Structure 1
Amino acid sequence: MAVLASVINILGMVFLAHAVYSAYEHSLLPSSSVPQPPSAILPAALDLRVNLPLDITLETLFSAFLLCVGVVLSSPGLKPIQWNAWAGKLERSKEAREIPEVGVGGGNPYAGLEERPGFLDVRGRRKEFAQWIQQDAVGEKS
Structure 2
Amino acid sequence: MSALSRLLVSVGLLSLFHAAYSAQEVSIIATQLHVKPDLPVDIKAETLVAVFLACLGLVLGSDQLKPIAWNVWAGNIEKEGGAANPFRLFEDRPNYLDIRAKRREFAEWAKNGAIGAS
Q: Give the TM-score normalised by structure 1.
A: 0.60
Between the aligned partners of 2:111 and 2:24, the Cα distance in structure 1 is 98
CA 31–140 in structure 1, closer or farther in 2 if over 3 Å, else same: closer
- Of residues 93, 96, 110 in structure 1, which corresponds to 2:87? 110
Matches within 5 A, 1:9-28: 9-28=9-28
User: Pairwise CA RMSD of aligned residues?
Assistant: 3.0
1:3 aligns to what?
Answer: 3
Query: Could you tell me whether the CA contact under 8 Å between 2:23 and 2:43 is conserved in 1?
Result: yes
- Of residues 79, 93, 101 in structure 2, which corresponds to 1:131? 101
Q: Alignment length, in residue pairs?
A: 112
Larger Rg: 2
2:76 matches 1:89: yes
Between the aligned partners of 1:56 and 1:120, the Cα distance in structure 2 is 65
Match of 1:121, as an amino acid? N
The runs of 5 or more residues in structure 2 that have no matched partner are 113-118
C-alpha distance after superposition, 1:60-110 (max 9, x if no partner): 111111122122223333333333321113323xxx24xx4313xxxxx42
Higher relative contact order (CA 8 A, sep 6+): 2
2:95 aligns to what?
Answer: 121
CA 29–133 in structure 1, closer or farther in 2 if over 3 Å, else same: closer
Q: Aligned with 2:83: secondary structure?
A: coil
Query: Could you tell me whether the CA contact under 8 Å between 1:8 and 1:66 is conserved in 2?
Result: yes
Query: Could you tell me whether the CA contact under 8 Å between 1:26 and 1:32 is conserved in 2?
Result: no
More helix by share: 2
